[in-house]
Amino acid sequence: MNDDYPAETEKSIFRRPIKTFVIRAGRMTGSERRCYDELHHVWCIPFEHKTLNYTEIFNNTNPVIMEIGFGMGTATAIIAENNPDTNYLGSEVHVPGVGKLLGEIKSKNLKNLYIIDHDALEILETMIPDNSLSGFHIFFPDPWPKKKHHKRRMLQRPRTDLLAKKLAPGGYLYFATDWQEYAESALEELKLTEGLHNKYDGFAPHQEWRPRTKFEQKGIDAGRDIYELYFVKNEI
């Protein structure tokens, strides 16, 4: 096991105080607050130590994609609207973003998108069945640029092993970042994750169905490159 995370086994990683996120203070707009208060009970699934039944949630057997850390949810809502025959679960701990996406769900009348506002790793460990997800979307997560914080990154083993475990055969993991060093590190970690293979030779081309967000455009305007990875779980 790599010395960077000697004690982080699949069973212990979720019991430790190391988090892949920080809940940052952020002011909610009046609209976000209203949407959060009025719609949370409708479109947010409470975190429980209970395995999800997707058919009961969505009232269909369509494939399910999970997005880890959807931010303000702009791309999330557009993707869900453009793909009504696919179901989406979004995880996010940033309350203003949850409120914003709840408003988008209502305004777009989306029936295929639900939110779990909790730590994604704990959701995966306790609520997501093995071999059940058709994909993961991980777009522009916190890169944790300082070396002492690299242990907080989502895309590193053994966390990538857990992601692979939750994917159905043929399911994909789609990652995008504007932080080159994180992209290179994630590429190596995913290459070493059992059961996954890279769909492309190195970094992936931009998937045209993924809309660019204001955050992403800001990085491009600042001269930063966008790096994308697209890995697929091996068929059994």
Active site residues: 142
Burial 208-234 (b: 16+ CB within 10 A, else e): eebeebeebeebeeeeeebbbbbbbbe
CA distances from 29 to 4, 18, 110 (A): 40, 30, 22
Where helices occur in 59-145 by DSSP H, the ranges are: 74-82, 95-108, 120-126
3-state secondary structure of 216: helix
Phi, psi (degrees; rounded to nearest 5) at 135: -175, 160
Q: How far apart are CA 30 and CA 191, in angstroms?
A: 44
Could you give the dihedral angle defined by the CA atoms of residues 64, 70, 73 and 74, in that order, rounded to the nearest 10 degrees? -100
Phi, psi (degrees; rounded to nearest 5) at 230: -140, 100
Q: How far apart are CA 175 and CA 163, in angstroms?
A: 12
